[in-house]
């Protein structure tokens, strides 16, 4: 039944806005002949808001535009996952331009179906399309063409889709989000305790590439210089090696002081660079979020202004109805007084007539 309901919903939500109710009633009546549950499900399909209907018109008549938004949203999510601040800035500019174009296409599609889109509705449409670039589920909801209400995204949490799609099963299974390959973080690099000790240390792990490693005291007697020296020199080398073994802490301190850059300093510099890059990316993301919040505030201002104007119109209509009711009450009260006076007069006339009849009966012929 889900597939049949989805087909019926696709046909209904592609119709002009004012034709939805009549078409839904006719579709439910046709389905009742074969399946009462299906007819009831069709009869329960809600009418979309004007903004949601406008987005549905875009999905039905310009699906390529919706697909462009989805593709751009996936690219932005990947850039955010990789903390690519420069790419995020460029993609944000591209999204603003694309949203302007797509909102124009949505308004045109709605006008072709016989309904003009107001500024407040266009703002809600833009907010819904922006949410489609921030969340895969929201993009699927927009692409379904079965949207019931507008969507909103804060850039952090997932978009709330509760009661947002007429047939939720039409969204299907969303594809997994692709994440870019990231370089190893500082925590993933081998520490000093994880590196091999002594002369077995690999040049790729430990000292920077191109730096000659200092031989340890255990390997000094077997060095190439010791093998090529004469016996007397070799004996002196052995003596020096023993001395080096006794004075190893002091010599190591001297060597460390003479080195301009050590592996630990290099790692700290790389960690500082990575932290600076992350901070810059976070700042770019925060700036984008604040811009989004500002846009949301502007949209809320427009929406609330429209609601206030609509409320004022309703209050004015109620005041007119109250005035009319007050006049009707005054008219009814005046008529009631007239009827009361007429009734009192009729009662007096009846009393006089009764007295006359009595007098006539008492009068001799």
Is the predicted pLDDT of residue 162 greater than 80, yes or no? yes
Q: How far, in Å, are 219, 223, 246, 247 from residue 237 at the CA level? A: 12, 10, 14, 15
Cβ atoms 73, 92 nearer than 8 A? no
- Looking at residue 278, its pLDDT comes to 63
Enumerate long-range contacts of 19-27, CB under 8 Å, 24 or more apart.
20/47, 20/48, 21/47
Taking the C-alpha atoms of residue 72 and residue 54, their distance in angstroms, rounded to an integer, is 21
- Looking at residue 277, its pLDDT comes to 59
C-alpha gyration radius of the chain: 43
Taking the C-alpha atoms of residue 149 and residue 49, their distance in angstroms, rounded to an integer, is 6
Taking the C-alpha atoms of residue 87 and residue 243, their distance in angstroms, rounded to an integer, is 59
Q: Given pLDDT bands bounded at 50, 70 and 90, which one contains residue 365?
A: low
Cβ atoms 47, 21 nearer than 8 A? yes
Cβ atoms 69, 55 nearer than 8 A? no
Taking the C-alpha atoms of residue 159 and residue 135, their distance in angstroms, rounded to an integer, is 7
Is the predicted pLDDT of residue 267 greater than 80, yes or no? no
Neighbours of 62 (CB within 10 A): 16
Q: Each residue of 174-194: pLDDT tens digit?
A: 444 443 334 444 444 444 444
- Looking at residue 247, its pLDDT comes to 43
Q: How far, in Å, are 6, 30, 145, 179, 221 from residue 36 at the CA level? A: 16, 10, 25, 46, 96
Percent of the chain whose predicted confidence (pLDDT) is above 70: 67
Q: Each residue of 32-82: pLDDT tens digit?
A: 988 899 999 999 999 999 999 999 999 999 999 999 999 998 898 888 888
Cβ atoms 3, 169 nearer than 8 A? no
Q: Each residue of 229-254: pLDDT tens digit?
A: 444 444 444 444 444 444 444 444 44
Taking the C-alpha atoms of residue 215 and residue 85, their distance in angstroms, rounded to an integer, is 44
The tokens of 181 are what?
């390959």
Residue-level length of the chain: 365
Q: Where are the alpha helices (DSSP H) in 83-118?
A: 85-112
Is the predicted pLDDT of residue 153 greater than 60, yes or no? yes
Helix axes 36-43, 2-12, angle to 10 degrees: 40
Least confident range from 81-95, 213-227, 295-309: namely 213-227
Cβ atoms 141, 147 nearer than 8 A? yes
Q: Each residue of 96-123: pLDDT tens digit?
A: 999 999 999 999 999 999 999 999 999 9
Q: Given pLDDT bands bounded at 50, 70 and 90, which one contains residue 172?
A: confident
The tokens of 360 are what?
């006539």
Highest mean pLDDT, choosing among 3-17, 300-314, 336-350 = 3-17
Q: Each residue of 122-152: pLDDT tens digit?
A: 999 999 999 999 888 999 999 999 999 999 9
Task: Encode 329-353: b = buried (16+ Cβ within 10 Å), e = exposed.
Answer: eeeeeeeeeeeeeeeeeeeeeeeee
Q: Each residue of 1-29: pLDDT tens digit?
A: 788 999 999 999 999 999 999 999 999 99
């Amino acid at each position: 039944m889900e597939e049949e309901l989805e087909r019926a919903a696709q046909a209904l939500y592609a119709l002009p806005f004012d034709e939805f109710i009549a078409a839904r009633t006719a579709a439910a009546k046709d389905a009742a002949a074969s399946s009462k549950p299906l007819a009831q499900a069709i009869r329960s399909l809600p009418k979309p808001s004007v903004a949601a209907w406008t987005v549905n018109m875009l999905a039905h008549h310009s699906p390529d535009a919706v697909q462009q938004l989805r593709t751009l949203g996936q690219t932005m999510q990947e850039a955010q996952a990789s903390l690519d601040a420069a790419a995020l800035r460029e993609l944000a500019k591209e999204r603003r331009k694309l949203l302007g174009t797509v909102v124009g296409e949505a308004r045109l599609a709605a006008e072709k179906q016989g309904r003009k889109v107001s500024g407040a509705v266009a703002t809600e449409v833009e907010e819904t399309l922006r949410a489609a670039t921030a969340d895969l589920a929201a993009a699927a909801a927009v692409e379904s063409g079965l949207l019931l209400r507008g969507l909103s995204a804060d850039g952090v949490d997932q978009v709330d889709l509760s009661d947002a799609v007429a047939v939720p099963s039409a969204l299907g299974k969303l594809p997994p989000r692709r994440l870019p390959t990231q370089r190893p973080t500082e925590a993933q690099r081998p520490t000093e305790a994880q590196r091999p000790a002594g002369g077995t240390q690999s040049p790729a792990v430990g000292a920077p590439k191109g730096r000659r490693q200092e031989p340890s005291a255990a390997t000094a007697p077997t060095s190439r210089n010791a093998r090529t020296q004469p016996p007397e020199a070799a004996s002196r080398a052995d003596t020096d090696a023993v001395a080096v073994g006794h004075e190893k802490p002091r010599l190591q301190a001297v060597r460390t002081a003479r080195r301009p850059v050590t592996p630990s300093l290099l790692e700290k510099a790389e960690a500082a660079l990575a932290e600076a890059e992350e901070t810059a990316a976070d700042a770019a993301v925060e700036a984008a979020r604040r811009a989004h919040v500002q846009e949301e505030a502007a949209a809320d201002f427009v929406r609330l202004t429209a609601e206030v104007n609509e409320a004022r119109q309703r209050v004015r209509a109620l005041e007119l109805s109250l005035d009319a009711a007050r006049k009707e009450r005054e008219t009814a009260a005046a008529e009631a007084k007239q009827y009361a006076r007429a009734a009192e007069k009729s009662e007096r006339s009846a009393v006089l007539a009764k007295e006359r009849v009595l007098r006539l009966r008492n009068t001799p012929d």
